[in-house]
Amino acid sequence: MPYVATRLGRWFYDESGPANDGPAVVLLHGLFFDGSQWKAQLPLLSKLGRVFVFDGPGHGKSDPPPPFTLEDHADAMTDAFGHLGIARAVFVGLSWGGMISMRVALRYPQLVAALALLDTDAGAVSKVERMKNGALASIAAKVGIPPWLTRTQVAPQLFGKTTLERRPEHAAETHRRITGYDRQALLRAVRAVSIERSDIRYRLGAISVPTLVLCGEEDVATPLARSREIVRAIPGARLRVIPRAGHMTTIEAPDAVNAELLPFVRAAFQNV
């Protein structure tokens, strides 16, 4: 299996599509998921150019990481880029992946050709959210994540009301995935993303690459207001709302996501 060494441990990755002189596409998934989150987008994006899908630290087939911050994760992306020979990329990130994409654009602008930010947030975690997420993390650390916790707290944050009504099996699928991860590794990612993340909204004006922001109409984890903050802050960014979808738009409404994402990535390649 293909792995790349980073300061946060080895990351599993998948590479597809034809190599060319332009940027690559880098796909970064959300918390509790892995690279398979992009299975509806990957075949189409791979026709445009070289695509890399990474499993995040402690997720999927990647190694458990040491304690880390989102900034550490952004720095570790440069390790992966160096080993894989990626000079520049269109970053496509959902939630956690979007948070990392924005930080890479701020810290290493030379690496970023364009940004597609899906269901993500540039702000810090509110005090109420920190308390709630910290309590859930404490329960998970002591007893793991019981099915009722996934069903009542986690799944409704990840999937929209419409999706859970039509496909209630998503809650059970999410539980199986979460409980299959190394518990300590998962908690370190939760802490970085959902408890300790920094506020970068005031810095987003420094991003100058083409930016597309997508948000599910029913997203309660990173509501539409958070996406509007990003669009207002990044010059030229544009917002598209995905109807009848929650936080995991790539899974809940893949066709609607692809209809926005593919033309954006194609245009980013042409404009480089």
Condensed to tens digits (0 to 9), the pLDDT of residues 20-52 reads 888 999 999 999 999 999 999 999 999 999 999
Is 0.95 topped by the overall pTM?
yes
Which candidate, 30, 266, 68, places its Cα nearest to that of 158? 30
Alpha carbons 18 and 2: distance in angstroms, whole number: 17
The position carrying tokens 């033309």 is: 263
Query: Where do the structural domains in the chain lie, given as residue ranges?
Result: 3-124+200-271, 127-189
Q: State the DSSP code for 62.
A: S
Do residues 91 and 74 lie in contact, with contact meaning Cβ atoms separated by under 8 Å? no
Kindly report, residue by residue over 212-236, the tens digit of the pLDDT: 999 999 999 999 999 999 999 999 9
For residue 247, give the 3-state DSSP assignment: coil
Kindly report, residue by residue over 69-90, the tens digit of the pLDDT: 999 999 999 999 999 999 999 9
Question: What is the CATH class of 3-124+200-271?
Answer: alpha beta
Which tokens hold the place of 236? 């030229």
Identify any residues that bridge with 112 across adjacent strands, giving them in sequence order. 89
Alpha carbons 108 and 88: distance in angstroms, whole number: 10
- Return the ∠ at Cα 199 (arms to 73 and 213), rounded to 5°: 80
